[in-house]
Amino acid sequence: MQKGSGILEAGDWVLLGSGHFFQAVGIGVMKAALESNSPEEAVESLAPIVLGRNNMADAAVILALVKKEPPSLVGSVPQFEERESEVEVKSKRDNFLEKILDKIKLPQRKSFFVRRADLEKRKKTLFIIALTLLALLAIALGFGLKQRAAEKKQNKVKNLIGLAEEKFNQGKKAYSVDPGEGKTFIAEAKQLIEEGLVLKKNSQELVLLKEQIEKFSSDLGVETAIAEVPVFMDLSLITDGASGVSLSLLDKDLSILDTDKKKIYLLNTEKKSHVVLEFSENSGKFMTAFAGKILVFGEKGINEVDTKNKGVSLEISKDEEWKEIVGFSSFNGNLYLLDKGASDIWRYLASGEGYGTRKSWFSGTPPDLSGSVSMAIDSSVWILEKDKISKFNLSQPEDFSLTKMPEGFVDPVKIYTSVDDQNLYVLDKGRGKIYVIAKNGEFKASYVWEGIKEASDLVAIESINKIFLLSGTKIYEIGIK
C-alpha cells in the first residue's frame, strides 16, 4: 500500500481504491479524469474503463473532493497562547492518518458507476419485472382459487357417491322385505347420482354406480306409466248400448259377454270383424271358451253356446253345493269352478254325452281358499288371492312366492294365463295396474293407467304382444314391452 501525508486543502482529491481498480486505471488516465474537479465527471470518465474490462468484480474506488466549508458552518477556532510548531503538528497528523489507513479495510464487493441513461433503463427494466411479478402473482392466485374450487367440487362429488352407495345398499336390503321402501331408496340413489354427474359428468365411479343401479332395477322389472290407452273397439259400434261384463279368448277372437243385451260378441283381434250371438241368460257372470264353444256360468247353471250353429243349451244345472263361485275356467275340455264359499275347486269332466258330475279337484282335504278372487289354468291351477298367488299341480300345492314385487296388491280382481303364455297377468283395480309376473314368481313389469280402475276383465296374447282390457262399453289395447 502506498501512503501519503500532508494538509488537506480545498481542491485536493482523496482516492481509496482496490488493487484491481488501480491495475485497470493508469496514473495518466486517473489524472486526466480528476482534472475536471467534478466527482460526477470523474465517475463518467472512469466507469467505462472499469466496466469494459473482464474480471473486474473486485474493482472498486471511493473518490472524495475536498471543498471549503461555508463560513456559517465553521465554528470558532480556539486561540492558543502558545502555538505548536508546524513540524510537530505535521508529524502528529501524519501519525494519525497512518493509524486510520492501517485500520481501514476496503469492502470486497463490486461497485458500478452508471450513467443517467443507464439508470433510466434500469428503472424501466425493474418496472417491467415488477409488472411481470404482479402478473405471475395474479395468475398464481387465480390458479390457487381454481384449484381450491376444484377440490371443493371433488369433495362434494365424493360425498354424493358415498350417499348414493349408502342409499343403493339400503334399497337392496329393504326390497326383499318392503319393495315399496326399497324402491324409494333406489330412486333417492339415482337422484344423488344425477346430481354428481352434473358436477362431474365423466366420473367413472358415478357412471359405474349408475350402471349397477340400472341393472338392479331392470332385474326387478319395469313399471310403465301410460298417459293414454288406445281403444281397440267401442262395443256400441256393434250394438247400441252394448256393454261387457266378462272377456275370454277363443282362437283369434275375443268373446265378450253382454248380460244386459243377452248377447255374446265375437271380435276378431286381427281384422276387428265381429259376430253377434244371441244368449237367453241375463245373469251370466263368468265365461270360458274352447273348441268352438263358449261356456257361461250364471244363476241357472252353466250354458253352452255353439259358435257354429249358434245354439244355446244348459249343460250343468245349478248345484245346491255351490256356495260362492268366483272363478270359472276350462282345460282340456274339462270345466273348473272356484268356490270361495266352499273353499274348493269343483271339476266337471267332459264326456261324449256332456259333462260328468261335480267332484273336488283336490285328492285330499282342500286348502283354505276363502281369500280367493280369481283362477287361471294352464297345466297348473293358479289361484289369485288378496295378497298372494297360490300354485297347484296335480291337485297338490307347490312352493310359489312372489319376488321383486314393487308393492303388494290392493284390490286384485282377475288373473290370466294360458298354455301359450310365459307369464301371469294380474288386474289390480285398487292400484290401477296390470302386473306381469313370470311363472317362477318373479315380477317382470307393471302397466299403470287410471282407466284400469274401471276395468273388469283382461286377456293377454303374448304372440302379438298385446293386452286387451274390458271396461264397460270399450275394449282397450295395451302393448306389451
DSSP E strands, 340-422: 344-348, 350-351, 354-355, 359-360, 372-377, 381-385, 389-393, 396-398, 412-416
Angle subtended by helix axes 27-34 and 39-51, to nearest 10: 150
Instruction: Give residue-wise pLDDT tens across range 48-80.
Output: 777 767 666 667 777 777 777 665 544 444 444
Q: CB neighbours of 70 closer than 8 A, spacing ≥ 6?
A: none
Res 407: pLDDT: 87
User: What one-letter code names the amino acid at 248?
Assistant: S
The pLDDT score that the predictor gives to residue 44 is: 74
Closest of 325, 336, 448, 433 to residue 382, by C-alpha:
336
Indicate the range of 39-43, 313-317, 405-409, 418-422 predicted with least confidence: 39-43
| DSSP H or E segment with residue 90 | helix 86-103
3-state secondary structure of 375: strand
pLDDT of residue 42: 76
Residue 36 has pLDDT above 80, yes or no: no
Q: Over 70: is that where the pLDDT of 327 sits?
A: yes
Distance from the first to the final alpha carbon of the chain: 110
State the DSSP string of 224-278: EE-S---EEEEGGGTSTT---SEEEEETTEEEEEETTTTEEEEEETTT--EEEEE
Would you say the pTM of this structure is higher than 0.75? Answer: no
- pLDDT tier for residue 152 given thresholds of 50, 70 and 90: confident
Q: Could you tell me if 360 and 347 are in contact, meaning their C-beta atoms sit under 8 angstroms apart? A: yes
Residue 68 grid cell: 471549503
Report, as an integer, the average pLDDT of 194-200: 90
Beta strand segments in 270-388, E? 274-278, 286-290, 293-298, 301-306, 312-317, 325-331, 334-339, 344-348, 350-351, 354-355, 359-360, 372-377, 381-385
- Whose cell is 482523496? That residue is 14
| Amino acid 11: pLDDT | 75
pLDDT confidence of residue 262: 92
Residue 73 confidence (pLDDT): 45
Q: Is it the case that residue 4 has pLDDT exceeding 70?
A: no
In tens, the pLDDT along 270-324 reads 999 999 998 877 778 899 999 899 999 998 999 999 999 888 999 999 999 999 9
Do the Cβ atoms of 323 and 306 come closer than 8 Å?
Answer: no
Average pLDDT over residues 24-49: 76
3-class secondary-structure state, position 148: helix
